Structure formats: structure tokens, C-alpha cells
Structure 1
Amino acid sequence: MMLTKEDLQAISELINGAVSASENRIMAYIESDVKKEIRQIADGHKQLAEKMDRMEQKIDKIQD
């Protein structure tokens, strides 16, 4: 049995729809989870940098 042009077009549309749905799920995951985790890492880095600055200031005072 040979597939008609219409059959191939329908298969193509189904595949494209499945790919689009997968892309949407991936983007939703990135938007909700990955960005949140990156933000948490950045906040932690900022806190550590601020703590190091305070420690450096205390060390400078002790050295003086």
C-alpha cells in the first residue's frame, strides 16, 4: 500500500504538532524551574560575595 500525498501531509502535520508540543513543554520547564534555580544560585553567590567583602573589611581593620 502506497501513501498518498495527503497521507504524507497528514503525517507531517502530526509530527510537527508533536514537536511543537514538546518544545512548549521544554520552554515551560525552563521558564518555571531552570530560571528559578539560576536565580537562587545568583542570590547565593551575591550573599557570599557580600560576606567576603565584610570579612575583608574586618581583616583590614585588624591589620591597621
Structure 2
Amino acid sequence: MSAFAVDGTGRCRLVVEPVGAGDAFAAGYLYGLLLGFTETAVLRLGQPVAATALRGDR
């Protein structure tokens, strides 16, 4: 069985490894907060970072 997630460009991608996606999202989110980004901007930053973790990109 395969799982899919939508990446930052709106394309559907195969999920390779779900472990760590939440941590990756939090890292992107907190990085944006530290840089003073708006709430919307930090959410937009966290999502593609989590998508990278889901795809297993390293």
C-alpha cells in the first residue's frame, strides 16, 4: 500500500518515510518564527520541510 502527500507546489508525491515529518514541520515553523515571519509564512515554510521528510530526501 502506498501513501501520498501534497508538496509545496500542490503536486501529489509518494510518501517514502513518514517518521520525522512532524519534527521537520516544527523545525521549519520554528525557524520562521525565529526570523520574525508572519504566522502564515511560518506555516508555509513548515509544510515543504515536512514534505521533504515524507519523501525521504536527505
TM-score, normalised relative to structure 1: 0.29
Report which structure shows greater RCO (CA 8 Å, sep ≥6): 2
TM-score, normalised relative to structure 2: 0.32
> Which structure is higher in strand share?
2
> Which structure is higher in helix share?
1
